[in-house]
Amino acid sequence: MSRATAPTTFADGGGGATLSPDHYAEVPYEEKLRLWDEVKADPRFPDYMYGCYECGICVAACPSARFYDFSPRKIAQAAGREDVELIFEQMNDDVWNCSQCFSCNRCPRQNSPGGLITILREVAVKNGLASSKAALEGYTRIVYKIMTTGTQVSPDMLQADAFPDWGPGVTEVSDKLDLWRRALPPETLHTTSMSWVVEQKTLNELYLIWHLTGVMDMIAEVDEGLHMIILDVMEESLEEAGYQI
């Protein structure tokens, strides 16, 4: 099959036509098409993508467009045209710039470029694309935290080396963490290792949800080590509670 190497080449695998240079020529068109089909198969896709007349409202409202070479309009255009090559490129290079603030939801065509990006990222993770692995580098601790404690950040993560740009207050908080947490009237906040006290029964239910919805498989795809650590925590807790995975 032909592959796009010049701006006006049509690499048509029966789907769309591309009008952009192919920066990922080593990836077969069929693979790119498969990923695009996976994006389209998401039940939310029809609610997120109608068509695009390039009004630019999404770009004007977009914070990331001001700081990166990033355009939600181009994401919507590529999806609207089903430009498989360009979509693959965006899935690798662009989607992680999005702030997910959903300011772009103002689209008069009722597209949600931000929602579309959520799906594109999800497919990138699920298929272990290099971009998703790179994006998650330095992020594994957060994924571990949320999946095992049911809360995303904990007080003990406030460490000066993690937040050097937040000033000396971070050091003061971390020095006095235990005392200051106890100086909080709400009983549920008397913890330093999670955002608030979450019952073990509740966590077991959360672990079951991760298992039953394929999230554990996604983690395995992007970070095998992380997957094993999380699995360890979960299995022990679930077994104690009498669940079998």
Partner 1 sequence: MSIIPIESIRVKPRPDPANAPTVDMRERLFELEAAGELIVQRVPEPYIEVTTKYGRIKKIPEQMTWHHKSCGQCGHIPGYSTAIFWLNRKLGMDYNDPTDQTSCTAWNYYASATSNAAAQAGVAMRNFAAAHEVGYFPIIHCGTSYGHYKEVREEIVSHPDLRAQVRDIMGKLGKQLVMPEEIVHYSEWVHAMRDRFAALQVYDFSNITASVHPACHYYKLVQEDAIYDPDIYGGERTATVTALVQALGAKVGDYSTFFDCCGFGFRHILVERDFTRSFATQRKIEVMKAEANPDVTLTHDTGCVTTLDKSQFAAKAHNRNVGIPVMSDAQFAALAMGAHPYKVCQLHWHTTDYTALLEKMGIDWEQAWIEFENEVARIERGEIEFLSWEDAGV
Partner 2 sequence: MSERIVVIGGGPAGLEAAAMAGRLGSDVLIVEKNAVVGGMPIIENYAALTHGFQSAEEMVGRLTASATDLENVEVRVDSEVTAVTGSGGDFRVTIKSKGGDDTVPAGAIVLATGFQHFDPGRETQQYGYYEFPDVIVLQDAEVMLKEKRFVTPSTGLPPERVAFIQCVGSRDRQIGNEYCSKVCCGISSKQAIEIRQQVPDARVFIFYIDMRMYGYWENEIYWPAQEQHKVNYVKGIVTEILSKNGRLLIRGEDTTMGRPMEVAMDVVVLANGMEPSQGTRQMADLLGLPSNKYGFVETVHDVLDTVTTSVPGVFVCGAVTGPVDLDDTISTAGAAGAKAVAYLRAGARISV
SS3 at position 116: helix
> Does 150 engage in binding with partner 1 (CB under 8 A)?
yes
Cα(7)–Cα(116) distance, integer angstroms? 25
Residue 87 contacts which entry, partner 1, partner 2, none (Cβ below 5-8 A, type-dependent): none
Region at 197 (left for phi over 0; alpha for psi -120 to 50; beta for the rest): beta
Region at 9 (left for phi over 0; alpha for psi -120 to 50; beta for the rest): beta
Q: Which parts of 197-216 interact with partner 1 (CB under 8 A)?
A: 197-199, 201-203, 205-206, 208-210, 212-215
The site for partner 1, by CB under 8 A, has a size of 81
Task: Supply the minimum distance, in Å, between the C-beta of residue 139 and partner 1.
Answer: 6
Considering only CA atoms, which of 54, 146, 59, 143 is closest in space to residue 103? Answer: 59
> Does 66 engage in binding with partner 2 (CB under 8 A)?
yes
Cα(78)–Cα(84) distance, integer angstroms? 8
Stretch that binds partner 1, among 2-10, 79-87, 94-102, 232-240 (CB under 8 A): 94-102
Q: Which parts of 108-147 interact with partner 2 (CB under 8 A)?
A: 108-110
> Does 153 engage in binding with partner 1 (CB under 8 A)?
yes
Indicate which single residue of 25, 41, 55, 183 sits in contact with partner 1 (rule: CB under 8 A).
183
Please tell me the total number of residues recorded for the chain in this structure.
245
> Does 76 engage in binding with partner 2 (CB under 8 A)?
no
Contact 120, 48 (CB under 8 A): no
Q: Which parts of 121-140 interact with partner 1 (CB under 8 A)?
A: 121-122, 124-126, 132, 135-136, 138-139
Q: Which two tokens stand for residue 35?
A: 């990923």
Stretch that binds partner 2, among 88-96, 105-113, 168-176, 220-228 (CB under 8 A): 105-113
> Does 107 engage in binding with partner 2 (CB under 8 A)?
yes
Phi, psi of 28 (to 5 degrees): -60, 145
> Does 59 engage in binding with partner 2 (CB under 8 A)?
yes
